[in-house]
Amino acid sequence: MGVYSKILLAVDLSEESDQLIEKTRTIAKNNQAQLTVLHVIEPLSFAYGGDVPMDLTTVQEQLDAHAREKLELFSQKLAYPTESLQVVTGHTESEIHRIAKEKECDLIVVGSHGRHGLALLLGSTANSVLHGAPCDVLAIRVYEPEE
């Protein structure tokens, strides 16, 4: 067994997520690690401050189903056996921490955009995951596709 036996790969399922595949696969193979791939959906009520005068359950269920389809496609591109594929709803950083603890992971892999200016001041998901993580965190630099 290698240094990392249980790896959690947290992806946002954007186009940039594919940039995490090669490095994550290599680390997992080199360590013969169990790999969990996670996508967190922030509840729609978070986006609207919880003050929405309608039931968003159906919309949330559609978002979950779409995310599960995309995660399955991502997993196929990853081409490494996964211990589990998970789509959960909640606050991104706390859900990543929760799943990492639950699965007893020793490495969390996330993408980082390396933002500057105001985005840097406000923090990033990768930075938030680092603080409070129960294990090592690898932030892989991802680049937005050129248009």
Give the model confidence (pLDDT) of 26-75 as tens digits: 999 999 999 999 999 988 765 555 555 566 678 888 889 999 999 999 99
pLDDT for the residue numbered 42 = 86
Sign, CA torsion 112/118/121/123: negative
Name the one residue in this structure whose structure tokens are 């189903």.
Answer: 65
From the CB of residue 95, how many other CB atoms can be counted at a distance below 10 Å?
19
- pLDDT-based confidence at 143, cuts 50/70/90? confident
pLDDT surpassing 80 at residue 2: no
- pLDDT-based confidence at 147, cuts 50/70/90? low
- pLDDT-based confidence at 116, cuts 50/70/90? very low
Name the one residue in this structure whose structure tokens are 């969990």.
Answer: 36
Kindly list the structural domains of the chain, giving each domain's residue range(s) and its CATH number in brackets, ordered by start: 6-80+92-141 (3.40.50.620)
Query: Which has more pLDDT, 27 or 116?
Result: 27
pLDDT for the residue numbered 57 = 76
pLDDT for the residue numbered 60 = 81
Nearest Cα residue to 38 out of 5, 77, 66, 75: 75
Length of the chain measured in residues: 147
